[in-house]
Each structure stands twice: as structure tokens, then as C-alpha cells.
Amino acid sequence: MKTNLVLFGKPGAGKGTQASFLKETYRLKHISTGDVFRYNISENTPLGQLAKSYMDQGDLVPDEVTIQMLEAEVNKFPDVAGFIFDGFPRTTAQAEALDQFLSRKNMSISGTIALEADEDVLTARLLERGKESGRPDDQDETKIRNRFEEYNKKTAPLEAYYRNQNKFYEVDGIGEISEITQRISKVIDSL
């Protein structure tokens, strides 16, 4: 049975950092939706062309297209022990579509892990990251707070969706990186 995780967390909560440790420890493939989109668009795949056509119109890419991209990505790695989904799902409809896709492959989501952190701590973390990385979205406190608000609005229904399946786990995302990894590992080992 594969271990399939959904990683949640506000911007700056450390999803990427934790995913890199978890994929090594548990032999999981980290699938970042943003990376999958960028790959398909840069490689000019049929799905990338389709996604770009929506984006060029200023429209959101339909869930079906995103799911097809994720399905293609999952199919590339039949021998991994499971997957970490990062950046998807973002809505209940996407969560349902992901469940349907995984069930067609005789898989399911094992658990969803939400890295919890105080917004003031995350704001300071992101502003520091913005200085180092030069990322404009990490240099403006108003934009950072807007991203948190957007996250809170979108993930609240997802929390309820996964809680109803007894698959939602909150992990304290503040502390040393290794401590946070241990907290997450404890949850994964209990699944």
C-alpha cells in the first residue's frame, strides 16, 4: 500500500523544506503542482498548451486539466512508495477529483498534514526569505497577509473534508527543522 500525503501550510510554513526530508526518508515522490504546471508549459506538452490557453485568457485552469497533469506525473513513478501532493488540492472539488483519480489506481490519500504556524512568525520568516531570494511576493507585508487570507478561505473547507475521513493531522510548524520533521514522521508512522 502506497503512502500518499497532502501537505498543507500557509506560505512560509516550510512545506518545501519538509517535503525534501520526507521524500528521502519514506521514498516518496514530491509533486508540486506549480512545478508540474511549469514543466508542462515549458516542454510545450499538449496539456501544457491547454493550460496556457486558459492562463493566457486570464482564466483558471480547469480541475480536469490539472488532474490529468497530476495523473501523468504519478504514472511516471510507478516504483515509489507513495506521493506527497503539494499545492493540490485547493478546493473540495479538487479533493474529490484527486480521490477519484487515486481510486482508479487502487490508491488513496493516507493522510493530510497541515503545518500550523502563527501568521506573525510566518510574516517575519517570509520577509527574511524575500531579502535573500529577491522574490517580490515575499517583500510586501500586505501581499503576504493577503496570501494568508486566501489560504485560510480556501483550506477551511478542505480541512472539514479530510477531517470527515479522519485523515487530517495538524503539526506544529514552529521550531527547529529537525523537530518539525520528527513531528511529521510521528504522524506518518501512525498511518
Q: Domains of the chain: which residue ranges?
A: 3-185
Q: How far apart are CA 22 and CA 39, in angstroms?
A: 22
Q: What is the predicted pLDDT for the residue at 186?
A: 97
* C-alpha cell of residue 50: 491547454
C-alpha to C-alpha distances, 39 to 9, 48, 151, nearest whole angstrom:
23, 8, 24
**For 44-48, what is the mean pLDDT?**
96
Q: pLDDT grade, residue 184 (50/70/90)?
A: very high
**Which of 1, 4, 12 is closest to 113 using CA atoms?**
4
The string of pLDDT tens digits covering residues 60-77 is 889 899 999 999 999 999
Q: Tell which CATH classification among 3.40.605.10, 3.20.20.150, 3.50.50.60, 3.40.50.300 matches the domain 3-185.
A: 3.40.50.300
Q: How far apart are CA 174 and CA 177, in angstroms?
A: 8
Q: pLDDT grade, residue 188 (50/70/90)?
A: very high
The string of pLDDT tens digits covering residues 119-152 is 999 999 999 998 988 888 889 999 999 999 988 8
Handedness of CA 100, 169, 5, 120 (dihedral sign): positive
Strands (E), 22-167: 28-32, 82-86, 111-116
**Which of 73, 81, 129 is closest to 101 using CA atoms?**
73
Those residues whose C-beta lies under 8 Å from the C-beta of residue 164, and which sit 6 or more positions away, are: none
Q: How far apart are CA 170 and CA 20, in angstroms?
A: 19
